[in-house]
Each structure stands twice: as structure tokens, then as C-alpha cells.
């Protein structure tokens, strides 16, 4: 995670990790990412790694992972979770103090590039995604991937429609229309109480082109399960959870349903190109 904004909602975020919506989010990202990753041993940079859910799982899978996280409390949570892992997993994951905005100056990353660069759930907290993506692009090998999870501006109202909160849905639809006229990204207040920014698929796709990454595929995340209450637990029946995850996975890769995802997951692959990435 990055930015002072997220820090205001950190406690709520951590409290909700085992609840349905976050379990769906993390598992879908894991499944979608696995389609594109080079087999281990390969190197992964996770920027804004938060509590380390994806970074630790990748280390378990045999990847050499560097996790960068600016929030000391989130790094501590990650460290506590990592301490419970076997020594072989701990040896494959380094956790560094740094952020997306300061990525070029993070000690221990000087000049390093990786087979995969991840930035999940971070772009909504930065003012401009273009320089952020360029910072990520400077860290990926040729033929490596950049994986980004961002808030989907095209589906901002859908959660509230599902909940029957038509006033809130209307306000968000108005914000999307207004932002288009004003040539800016739409803003919203997330369920951590933090003001954030949403992205359009087309604009982010163009920025991927600017870092010489062809958009290999994009997915929707939480196409139908986002309408539940924040505190909805994981179903007690494992078969019910498995059915939710399998349907979310399928809808998340299928038109037109993936466009209803509250989040969108873009995976770009770096080509040769010419000249440096600026």
C-alpha cells in the first residue's frame, strides 16, 4: 500500500482480511496471476505489498520475492506472518521499506529488474497513474510482466445498485460523467473512509503501451460478490466458497461480465522496444 491516505484506513483493512470480499479478491488475483507468471524459480517485485498475502504465497510457490511496503505497521504484520513459514519460504522473501513513488531510490533495489512486477490495490491512492506505471516499467525484464490491480471507473456504481442504494449509485454515475467532461479521473470515497481515484481500462491500457508492455489480458475482480455487506464472513461450507470463487473466476475473464468487476486486473508483457523507459 502507499500514501498517507491508506494509513487512515489501515485498521479496517486488516480487520477485514478474513472476510468474504477480501478472500475473493486475494484468491482471484492469485489465480489470474498464475496464468501469466514464468515458472519458479523466477524473480518477483511486489510494490505496495501490504500485509504480504500475495508475496508470501509466491514465496511458498518457489519464487524469489522482494516486497516493498511504505507502512511500518503493514510491514510488521507481514513479518509476523512470514515468521510462521518454513525457513525455505522465509529465505525467498525480502521485505523492504519503500513506496511506489520512491521506487527508484529504495535501498537494495538499485539497478535490479525482475521477471514480474506487481502493483495490486495501490494506484487508487496515487494522483497520477502514468508516472507510477513508468516506475514499474523500469523494473521489469524484457519478456517479463507488469501486473496491476486498480479500481474500475466503469463499474463504480454497481456495488451500490446491488445493495439497493440508488442515491449513492446515482451520485457515482454523476461523478463519472462529470469527470469525463472535466478530463480528470473520477473520485470516490472507499469503504475504508479514504478518498481515492478510479481508472478507466482504456487509459491504463494506453499507459501500458508507454512502458512498452502489450496488454496480454485483463480481468474483472468481484463481478457479483461485491454487493454483500462489508462484514460478510466466508461461508461455513467450503463447497459454497469454492462455487463462489469458481464463478467469480469465470465471469472475471468473460465478456461482458468482467466489465462489472469493482476492480480490474491488467497484465502487460514487456517487449524489446527502443530506448530507455522514461
Q: How many of the other CB atoms lie within 10 Å of CB of 94?
A: 15
Confidence band, pLDDT 50/70/90 cuts, at residue 110: confident
C-alpha cell at 39: 515458472
Q: What is the pTM of this model?
A: 0.91
93 sits in which H/E element: strand 93-97
Read off the DSSP letter of residue 125. G
pLDDT confidence of residue 55? 97
Nearest in space to 158 (alpha carbons), one of 188, 127, 179 = 188
Confidence check: pLDDT of 15 > 80? no
The pLDDT tens digits for 221-264 are: 999 999 888 889 999 999 999 999 999 999 999 999 999 999 99
**218: exposed, middle or buried (Cβ count in 10 Å: 0-12, 13-18, 19+):** buried
Burial class (CB in 10 A: 0-12, 13-18, 19+), 144: buried
pLDDT tens per residue, range 161-219: 999 999 999 999 999 999 999 999 999 988 888 899 999 999 999 999 999 999 999 99
Amino acid at each position: 500500500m502507499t500514501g498517507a491516505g491508506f494509513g487512515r484506513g489501515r485498521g479496517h483493512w486488516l480487520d477485514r482480511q478474513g472476510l468474504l470480499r477480501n478472500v475473493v479478491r486475494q484468491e482471484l488475483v492469485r489465480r489470474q496471476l498464475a496464468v501469466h507468471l514464468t515458472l519458479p524459480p523466477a524473480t518477483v517485485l511486489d510494490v505496495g505489498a501490504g500485509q504480504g498475502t500475495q508475496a508470501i504465497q509466491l514465496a511458498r510457490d518457489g519464487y524469489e520475492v522482494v516486497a516493498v511496503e511504505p507502512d511500518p505497521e503493514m510491514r510488521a504484520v507481514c513479518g509476523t506472518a512470514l515468521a510462521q513459514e518454513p525457513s525455505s519460504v522465509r529465505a525467498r522473501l525480502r521485505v523492504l521499506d519503500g513506496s511506489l513513488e520512491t521506487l527508484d531510490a529504495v535501498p537494495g533495489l538499485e539497478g535490479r529488474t525482475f521477471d514480474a512486477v506487481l502493483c495490486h490495490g495501490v494506484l487508487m491512492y496515487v494522483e497520477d497513474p502514468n508516472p507510477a506505471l513508468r516506475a514499474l516499467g523500469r523494473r521489469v525484464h524484457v519478456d517479463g510482466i507488469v501486473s496491476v490491480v486498480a479500481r474500475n471507473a466503469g463499474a463504480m456504481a454497481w456495488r451500490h445498485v446491488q445493495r439497493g442504494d440508488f442515491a449513492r449509485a446515482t451520485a457515482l454515475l454523476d461523478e463519472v460523467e462529470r469527470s469525463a467532461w472535466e478530463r480528470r479521473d473520477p473520485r470516490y470515497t472507499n469503504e475504508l473512509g479514504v478518498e481515492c481515484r478510479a481508472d478507466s481500462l482504456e487509459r491504463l491500457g494506453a499507459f501500458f503501451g508507454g512502458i512498452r508492455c502489450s496488454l496480454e489480458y485483463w480481468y474483472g475482480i468481484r463481478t457479483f460478490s461485491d454487493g454483500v455487506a462489508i462484514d460478510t464472513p466466508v461461508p461455513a461450507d467450503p463447497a459454497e466458497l469454492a462455487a463462489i470463487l469458481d464463478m467469480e473466476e469465470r465471469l472475471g475473464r468473460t465478456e461482458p461480465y468482467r466489465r462489472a468487476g469493482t476492480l480490474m486486473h491488467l497484465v502487460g508483457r514487456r517487449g524489446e522496444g527502443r530506448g530507455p523507459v522514461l
